């Protein structure tokens, strides 16, 4: 079932702290997985499934650990690309996948300067008291990612800690599902493939701001999604499912400028089908189903309206099938 974006506060089973702090006793002594988990895609889901299984076998917590903000934001901000999920959304998805608790480590320069051995000793052993560690096939950790699974296996053996590597999750193209693949799909506007990689539609969430209200004058009122902090798909027109506090609605979404009216700035505008009401300043999420077309310039408002009618009809047929 599609759920509405959670409130701004983190649930009780999510813990945010500095690496020098000791976490609560109830999440110590568990099976631990560390990663970025950005997007919580199908590869992550496979790892979490193994993590939870091992935790059940040991009757202990299944703990997923990630870093916020993303380390690249501190180390190489010019190379940083928008994330697929906020820390809050990532935590929610990990909990829905079955973990007992999510630990969000505050990313600091001191944390990033820890050697791989220091991170293992200080975070995984001393603070989390891990009884077993489960990682993905390409896991790297510590300063400049100097640590790898081979070292981790050796150190776990020294401490009598269980260790397991989960193989890559591959689809028909034999390429491991990864956050990079999801980003590439969104850059192409291929939200259908992104949905396959994620195992659910890609979501943008924010709040509704005020716009030109031009859509309302044309008979297609739109909600302008603002305060979006995650990656935005390529410019174009999309079929999506809009999630509001009142319920879920099919939506035609325009990402990009409005060249027909000589507007050049990128906007995210959603026309909610069968919705009647005011969404200004309210939270809104968009789950993307399929890309319909490129942004087009029309010679008149009448031509634009004709195309919008076609877009709405296409959205209805697509949402009915999803």
Task: Band the pLDDT of 264: cuts 50, 70, 90.
Answer: low
For the ranges 17-31, 209-223, 255-269, 278-292, the lowest mean pLDDT is seen at 209-223
What is the CATH number assigned to the segment(s) 14-166?
3.40.50.620
What integer best gives the mean pLDDT of the chain? 91
pTM of the shown model: 0.92
**How buried is 266 (Cβ within 10 angstroms: 0-12 exposed, 13-18 middle, 19+ buried)?**
exposed
Long-range (24+ apart) CB contacts under 8 A made by 71-80 are: 71/107, 71/112, 73/107, 74/107, 74/108, 74/109, 74/112, 75/112
Asked whether the beta carbons of 312 and 304 are under 8 A apart, the reply is no
Beta strands in the chain (DSSP E): 14-17, 31-34, 62-68, 101-106, 132-136, 162-166, 202-209, 223-226, 236-244, 247-258, 263-272, 283-293
DSSP-derived letter for residue 224 is: E
Asked whether the beta carbons of 42 and 78 are under 8 A apart, the reply is no
Instruction: Work out the average pLDDT over 105-117.
Output: 96
Distance (Å, rounded) from C-alpha 116 to C-alpha 140? Answer: 9
pLDDT tens readout for residues 271-299: 999 998 889 999 999 999 999 999 988 88
Asked whether the beta carbons of 165 and 135 are under 8 A apart, the reply is yes
Quote the pLDDT of residue 216. Answer: 59
Asked whether the beta carbons of 204 and 230 are under 8 A apart, the reply is yes
pLDDT at 5 over 70: no
Quote the pLDDT of residue 262. Answer: 60
pLDDT tens readout for residues 300-315: 888 888 999 999 999 9
Q: 154 or 322: which carries more pLDDT confidence?
A: 154
pLDDT tens readout for residues 60-104: 999 999 999 988 888 888 888 899 999 999 999 999 999 999 999
Class at the top of the CATH hierarchy for domain 193-321: mainly beta
pLDDT tens readout for residues 31-63: 999 999 999 999 999 999 999 999 999 999 999
Asked whether the beta carbons of 274 and 252 are under 8 A apart, the reply is no
* Domain limits, the chain: 14-166, 193-321
Instruction: Return the closest-CA partner of residue 100 out of 58, 142, 43, 162.
Output: 58
């Amino acid at each position: 079932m599609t759920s509405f974006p959670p409130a701004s506060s983190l649930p009780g089973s999510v813990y945010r702290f500095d690496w020098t702090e000791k976490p609560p006793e109830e999440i110590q002594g568990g099976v631990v997985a560390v990663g970025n988990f950005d997007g919580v895609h199908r590869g992550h889901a496979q790892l979490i499934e193994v993590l939870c299984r091992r935790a059940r076998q040991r009757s202990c917590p299944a703990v997923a650990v990630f870093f916020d903000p993303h380390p690249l934001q501190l180390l190489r901000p010019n190379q940083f690309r928008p994330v697929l999920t906020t820390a809050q959304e990532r935590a929610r998805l990990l909990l829905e996948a079955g973990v007992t608790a999510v630990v969000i480590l505050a990313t600091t320069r001191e944390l990033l300067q820890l050697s791989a051995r220091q991170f293992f000793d200080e975070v995984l052993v001393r603070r989390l008291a891990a009884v077993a560690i489960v990682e993905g096939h390409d896991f790297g950790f510590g300063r400049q990612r100097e640590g790898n699974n081979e070292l981790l296996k050796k150190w776990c053996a020294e401490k009598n800690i269980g260790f397991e590597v989960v193989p890559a999750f591959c689809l028909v193209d034999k390429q491991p599902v990864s956050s990079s693949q999801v980003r590439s799909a969104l850059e192409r506007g291929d939200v259908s493939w992104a949905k396959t990689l994620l195992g659910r539609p890609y979501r943008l969430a924010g709040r509704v701001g005020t716009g030109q209200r031009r859509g309302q004058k044309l008979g297609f009122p739109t909600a302008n999604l603002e305060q979006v902090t995650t990656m935005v798909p390529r410019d174009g027109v999309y079929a999506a499912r809009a999630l509001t506090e009142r319920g879920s609605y099919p939506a035609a979404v325009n990402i990009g400028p409005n060249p027909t009216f000589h507007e050049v700035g990128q906007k995210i505008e959603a026309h909610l089908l069968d919705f009647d009401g005011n969404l200004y300043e309210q939270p809104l999420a968009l789950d993307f189903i399929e890309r319909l077309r490129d942004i087009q310039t029309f010679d008149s408002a009448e031509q634009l309206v004709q195309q919008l009618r076609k877009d709405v009809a296409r959205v209805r047929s697509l949402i009915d099938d999803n």
